[in-house]
Amino acid sequence: MDYKEKVRSLPDSPGVYIMEDNKGGALYIGKAKDLKRRVSSYFYKPGRLSERLEAMIQKVEDITYIPTSTEAEALIYENGLIKRLSPRYNIALRDDKSYPMLKLTTNEKFPRLFITRQKRGDGAVYFGPYTNVKLLREALAILRRIFPLRTCNKMPDSLCLNYHLRQCVAPCVGKVAEDSYKEIVLELKLFLEGKRTELLKLLSERMAVLARSQNFEEAAQLRNRIEALSAMERRVAYSPADEVEELRRLLGITKNIERIEAFDVSNIMGKTAVGSIVHFYKGRPKKSEYRRFKIKTVSKMDDYAMMRELIYRRYRRLLNEKGILPDLILIDGGRGHLSVATNELKKLGLSNIPAIGIAKEFEHLYLKEAKNPVTLPKEAKALHLLERIRDEAHRFAISYHKRLLSKGIELSELDNIESIGPKRKRALFNYFGSLDKIKNVKDTKEFLKIKEMDEKSARNIIEYFKR
C-alpha cells in the first residue's frame, strides 16, 4: 500500500477509519476529530507506537474511512463497527464503571436512553462501552433530537419543555400511542447497531402507509426523521460491497457481481493509440488483472474500431487460456461504444455477460436493452462505484500513453549521440529504465556494467549531457 497517497486522500474532518488486511478484513477501527492527522500518526511517527500497533501496521494493505459531521457521531459509529467486525487489534473494553455506556430501558413501558456506568441484568439493552464520556454526551444530544424518547425518571402529569423543543413525543399525557412509541425505540436500536440502511428503508415504508391512510401529521414526523438521518447518511462512505449490491439491483442482474472490467481508449493528438483494461473485484481494484494494449489494427482516429479491437483481443485470449470472465463489463462511452462492444461479445459467444456504457458529459448509463439512457441520482452508491472504475480506466490508459510518448522523445535524444545505435539504446533503457537516470550518470564505470557498452560510447553519453 502507498500509505503517503492514502493519507493525502483523507479529509481534515471527523470520522471513523478502518485499517484492513490483504483480504479486506478489519485489523483496527478508530475514530478521529481529524482523519488525516490521526491516520498519518501511525506512519510518520515511528517508534511512538506500541509493539501491538507496530505489528499491525506491517499487515495493513488498505485504509477506508467513514466521514461524520462531528467526533461525537464518530464515537457512536466506531463502537457499532467494532462490535460488528471484531477487529483483531482493538483492545476489548470491559463493561464496568471505568467506561460509560448507553442504556436503552426496553424493560420499561416507555423506554428511555441515557448514559450509565453500570451494566445490570435487568432486561435493558446496553450499547458500548465508550472511551469518552464528553463525546458520548454530545452524541446523546444528537440522538434525542432524531429519536424523541422521554428522558424523565418518573413521567409527569403535564407537558415539559422537551415536548415543546420536539425532543420528546410526550407519552406522559397520551400524545403518542404505545405502539408508535415502540416503533421509535426500534428505530433507535437499529441506528445504534449500525443498521442505517435497514432503518431508512423501514421509515420510508411506514411513511408511505401513513400517507396513504391520510395520517399526514405522523407522516410528516417520519419525513423529518428520514431527512435528519439521510443528511447523516450522505456523509457516510459506503463499503464497496454496498455499492456493488446496489448496482446489481439497479441493473436487474440476478447473479452476484464480483468481477467488473472497464475499457478505455486513449489517442492523444492521434499518436500511438492505446487501450486499457482495469479489473475490480468485489468493488476494489485488482491491479494484477490490469492490462494495457497498443492498438494494432486501427491506423486512423476511430474510437469505435479501437474499442472493437480491445474487446476482441481481451476476451479471445481469456477464452483461449480458459481464464475467469467478468460478471459485468463497463465501457467508457455512449450508445455507439456500447454497441460495438456488445456486437464483438456476441461474435465471441459471450453475449450473456452484461455490458453497460457510461457517458461522461451527463453521467448517463447506456444499457443494451434500454432505448433511452438511465440517469442515476448523484448520491447513488452505484453511480459512485461506476465513476470510480471509469476514472481508473481512464487514468491507466493516459499514464501508458504518456509513457510511450515520453519514450519516443527519450529515444530521439539518444539518437544524437555518436556510436549509440538501436542495440545500445535498448540496452541502456533496459538497464536504467529512463532517460533521466541515464543523464545523471557521471562515471563511465556505470555504463560499462552493460555488456553492449564500451569506453568510447560511455564517454560520448556523459559529454553529450554535460553539454
Whether 394 is in a domain gets the answer: yes
Q: Are residues 372 and 252 in the same domain?
A: yes
> How far, in Å, are 72, 352, 425 from residue 264 at the CA level?
43, 21, 31
Q: Are residues 394 and 419 in the same domain?
A: no
Under 8 Å CB-to-CB from 183, ≥6 apart: which residues? 206
Q: Are residues 445 and 311 in the same domain?
A: no
Q: Are residues 250 and 367 in the same domain?
A: yes
Q: What is the CATH number of the domain that holds 381?
A: 3.30.420.340
Whether 152 is in a domain gets the answer: no
Whether 435 is in a domain gets the answer: yes
Q: Are residues 252 and 311 in the same domain?
A: yes
Q: Are residues 354 and 437 in the same domain?
A: no
Last residue of a domain, one of 348, 371, 400: 400
Structural domain of 66 = 1-85
The distance in angstroms from the start CA to the end CA of the chain is: 41
Q: Are residues 374 and 454 in the same domain?
A: no
Whether 368 is in a domain gets the answer: yes
pLDDT value at residue 261? 97
pLDDT value at residue 331? 94
Q: Which residue has the cell 511512538?
A: 48
Number of domain units in the chain: 3
Q: Are residues 368 and 430 in the same domain?
A: no
Under 8 Å CB-to-CB from 220, ≥6 apart: which residues? none
Q: Are residues 314 and 432 in the same domain?
A: no
Whether 184 is in a domain gets the answer: no
Under 8 Å CB-to-CB from 60, ≥6 apart: which residues? 1, 3, 19, 20, 21, 27
Whether 197 is in a domain gets the answer: no
| pLDDT < 50 positions in the chain | 234-237, 269-270, 409-411
Per the CB < 8 A criterion, the answer to whether 109 and 126 are in contact is: no
Q: What is the CATH number of the domain that holds 420?
A: 1.10.150
Q: Are residues 355 and 317 in the same domain?
A: yes
- Residues 312 and 462: their CA atoms lie apart, in Å, by 46
Q: 277-303: b or e for each residue (b if 16 or more CB lie within 10 Å)?
A: bbbbbebbbeeebbbbbebeebeeeeb
- Residues 114 and 71: their CA atoms lie apart, in Å, by 19
Provide the whole-model pTM. Answer: 0.44
Q: Are residues 338 and 435 in the same domain?
A: no
Whether 456 is in a domain gets the answer: yes
pLDDT value at residue 254? 84
pLDDT value at residue 130? 81
Q: Are residues 370 and 252 in the same domain?
A: yes
Whether 140 is in a domain gets the answer: no
Last residue of a domain, one of 60, 85, 110: 85
Under 8 Å CB-to-CB from 45, ≥6 apart: which residues? none
Q: Please give the radius of gyration of the chain, using alpha carbons only, rounded to the nearest integer.
A: 30
pLDDT value at residue 328? 96
pLDDT digits (tens, 9 = 90+) for 21-30: 888 888 999 9
Closest C-alpha to 126, from 95, 150, 81, 147: 95
Strands 284-285 and 274-281: antiparallel
Last residue of a domain, one of 376, 400, 424: 400
Q: What is the CATH number of the domain that holds 30?
A: 3.40.1440.10
pLDDT digits (tens, 9 = 90+) for 105-153: 998 999 999 999 888 888 899 987 887 788 888 888 888 888 889 988 8
- Residues 193 and 181: their CA atoms lie apart, in Å, by 19
Under 8 Å CB-to-CB from 330, ≥6 apart: which residues? 260, 261, 262, 263, 355, 356, 357, 358, 386, 389, 390, 393
Per the CB < 8 A criterion, the answer to whether 428 and 438 are in contact is: yes
CB-hemisphere CA count at 13 Å for 121? 0
Strands 355-359 and 328-332: parallel
